[in-house]
Chains A and B, each alone.
Chain A
Amino acid sequence: MDPDATLIARAKDGDTAAFRQIFLRHREKVSRIVYRMIGPSPDVEDVVQDVFLNVYRSLPSFRGDSKFSTWLYRLATNVTRMHLRRGRSRPKFSDVEVPEAPSDDAPPQVTPDLQVERAERVRALYRLLDELSEKKREVLVLHDLEGVPAKEIAETLDIPVLTVRTRLFYARKDLYARLAAEPSLQGVMEALMDQLPGKPKRKPKTESASP
């Protein structure tokens, strides 16, 4: 049985501890979705809170026709969309220095260079995600970053599964083009291209390495 089902039943009976459990179980996931959709804004916290306020208020109308997670993602995307559409000037990943991943408890960095590079790459990805349209960003975040299956995304966004797949395809295609054109990723792109089979004959690039 869905472990959420018991919690929901208890919450519907007015058990406040069950409400808290629902929050504890899902806060990380909801925060990630919201963060990835709206960027590094101080509003993330408010939006996440709004999502859960809505969860609490709407629990009586949750009938268990769909999975709780689907219902929750739908709420999260709806609240996020409304937040975005309200047109507040939202900070973009490109405007803000993104702090590296919160890893307070992480051991001291053994290989700072790798960590920095990784953070740099992730920042670039977020910046590019931010340039995508809302529709494309939603499916990429839910499917590729959150691992939500296409069928569940279809229910979440209330669109056919085929549309999810098509949207996903074009979203990725769009992103590939942006990744290829992103200056900060040129180094890693070239390294990857060199590893590809059937390397075309190229003129030696020695001169391009020197200033």
Chain B
Amino acid sequence: MTEHRPKTAALLAYAEDVLSEAGRARVERHLASCAVCRQELAAIRLYDTLVDDVDDEAPALDFDRMELTLAREAQRVSTQMQQVKRRRARWPAVALAAAAAALLAWLAWPRPASPPVAEAPSEPEPTVEAPVVEESPALSPVVTLASAALADGAPLAVGAVLPEGAALATEAGGLAHVRLVDGTGFALRAESAVRLTRAREDGVELTLERGQVAHQVGQFAHQSRYVVLAGGYEVQVVGTRFVVSYVDTELGVDLAEGALEIRTPDGETVRLDAPARWRSGGGREADAEPAAEPAVETPWALAADAPRTEVTLRHPELVRWEIDGATLEAGAPIALSMRQGEHRIQGWDARGRLHTGLLRVGDVPVEMDPGALEPEAPRVRPGHLDPEQIAPVLQRGRRLISRCYETALRRGGGVQSHIRLRVSVGHLGEVTRAQVLDLQGNGEMATCITNYASRWTFPPPGGPVTFEVPLTLSARM
């Protein structure tokens, strides 16, 4: 026996008193004979009361104790914020000396079980007399690809050399790829922001403020250090390919190659070997889990090997591009530096249709004309219907078609009982055209038949199909 299921939506509407009078009456009539519906309506009412009951209730927690812990954290964070401000303002002045010293100390530490916590500097700010540490030579990070991206608030230009401290941000659907040195660089994904806090031969430091950034890190100098900071987490790299994401305080690391060390804000150290996927979960514990090799894109033009020219790719419909073997997801125009010579450009629109074209890059910046990409001709694939799929439809249809014949007979005159029907079926099985062949002199009967036949539905043939069938009509008068 099938059990009657109450219509919750109707009961809710009744409980909320939003039904018309007729609607209310209908529900009430039904309620009189439906025990399960009465029960559900009672549950709805009970739930509403309960929600009111719990309204003011809150757990009793020791907020004072919590406040103490939080005050310490507030102090730490606020000091960090002020340090960042000072560093931005006076980079690369003497504050760096202290930073470099701390860096050396950190590198000398074999595997910190409890790494040093960044303490607020209690002594006055260093003056010019502070010990001078020789500064490592600066790198020249170059923008190799940009699409809907900003650097320090201005549109990001391909070929631009980023200064230390530069802030990059991408909009929805945007991209920004940067080469730090030959073989090392990063790709900022859409809706992300990163600050290049340090770019020296002995070390690179990126602060990921939000979003995701993919890295490819080669060994760019002896003992070089590559660090990504995000919300108190520190991801330390040696020779690797990985993505760091920082979304709503959750740090995510997808490691495709090499090894990483993550230091959590609580001072824990997690070591990852590829392939690995790690999520902070925002809690104190971290869970590392093995994974298949995660998708980590290679930043554009990491090798500074050949002469390159800036190219702007623009197409109103394309959402995904494939250029020189790299796949880029970007809807906005993409500016990128390309090797001189001929390139095959492929792109896909939102419906998955492929557009292709050739692009010649010389030594003058080019802007590609959307017309240079030819959309793939929409392929018309013929469909297929088996006789066994056609027969039942004809069988059902014959009865109605016979009425046309009967009517014609009643009107008198000689009427053919053998006809041929040509039917064209669309890819969903709908009849796109029906035609009565070799029916002489009875236009009315032909129209009647085609009218009925156009309402038939066949199983979807997957493409257009046309077939002819003989029909023998009979009258049941």
Residues of A within 8 A of B (CB): 11-16, 19-20, 23, 27-28, 31-32, 35, 40, 44-45, 48-50, 52-54, 56-61, 63, 71, 74-75, 78-79, 81-83, 85-86, 101-102, 104, 118, 121-122, 125-126, 144-145, 169, 172-173, 175-177, 179-180, 185, 188-189, 192-193, 196-200
Given A56-B73, A75-B248, A14 and B50 contact (CB-CB distance below 8 Å): no
Pairwise interchain contact B46-A179, C-beta atoms closer than 8 A: yes
In chain B, what residue has the closest Cβ to A198? B32
Closest 5 A-B residue pairs measured CB to CB?
A: A82-B281, A102-B60, A19-B74, A198-B32, A14-B78
Pairwise interchain contact B38-A196, C-beta atoms closer than 8 A: yes
Known interface pairs A28-B58, A56-B73, A57-B249; 8 further A-B residue pairs with C-beta atoms within 8 A, sorted by A's residue number = A14-B78, A40-B59, A79-B283, A82-B283, A101-B57, A169-B8, A169-B9, A189-B39
Residues of B within 8 A of A (CB): 8-9, 12, 28-29, 31-33, 35, 38-47, 49-51, 53-63, 65-67, 69-71, 73-75, 77-79, 81-82, 209-210, 231-232, 246, 248-250, 265, 281-285, 287
Given A83-B283, A198-B32, A78 and B42 contact (CB-CB distance below 8 Å): no
Pairwise interchain contact A86-B287, C-beta atoms closer than 8 A: yes
Pairwise interchain contact B42-A192, C-beta atoms closer than 8 A: yes
Once the chains are docked, how many angstroms separate the CA of A74 from the CA of B248? 8
Pairwise interchain contact A53-B73, C-beta atoms closer than 8 A: yes
Pairwise interchain contact B59-A179, C-beta atoms closer than 8 A: no
Once the chains are docked, how many angstroms separate the CA of A44 from the CA of B38? 38
Q: Of A40, A49, A180, A198, which is within 8 A of B39 by CB?
A: A180
In chain B, what residue has the closest Cβ to A51? B282
Pairwise interchain contact A59-B77, C-beta atoms closer than 8 A: yes
Pairwise interchain contact A173-B8, C-beta atoms closer than 8 A: yes
Q: Of A31, A57, A193, which is within 8 A of B61 by CB?
A: A31
Query: Closest Cβ of chain B: how far from A11's Cβ, in Å?
Result: 8
Contacts of B47 in A (CB 8 A): 125, 172, 175-176, 179
Q: List 25 A-B contacts (CB under 8 A).
A: A14-B82, A19-B70, A44-B61, A53-B73, A57-B73, A57-B231, A61-B210, A71-B248, A78-B250, A78-B281, A78-B282, A83-B283, A86-B283, A102-B59, A104-B60, A118-B53, A122-B53, A125-B54, A145-B51, A169-B9, A172-B12, A172-B44, A179-B50, A180-B42, A193-B38
Pairwise interchain contact B70-A23, C-beta atoms closer than 8 A: yes
Once the chains are docked, how many angstroms separate the CA of A31 from the CA of B31? 41
Query: Closest Cβ of chain A: how far from B350's Cβ, in Å?
Result: 18
Once the chains are docked, how many angstroms separate the CA of A23 from the CA of B31? 49
Query: Closest Cβ of chain B: how far from A160's Cβ, in Å?
Result: 16
Query: Closest Cβ of chain B: how far from A157's Cβ, in Å?
Result: 11
Query: Closest Cβ of chain B: how far from A39's Cβ, in Å?
Result: 10
Once the chains are docked, how many angstroms separate the CA of A52 from the CA of B249? 11
Contacts of A31 in B (CB 8 A): 58-59, 61
Pairwise interchain contact A193-B281, C-beta atoms closer than 8 A: no
Contacts of B31 in A (CB 8 A): 196-198, 200
Contacts of B53 in A (CB 8 A): 118, 121-122, 125
In chain B, what residue has the closest Cβ to A194? B42
Contacts of B42 in A (CB 8 A): 180, 189, 192-193, 196
Given A52-B66, A56-B74, A59-B77, A188 and B282 contact (CB-CB distance below 8 Å): no
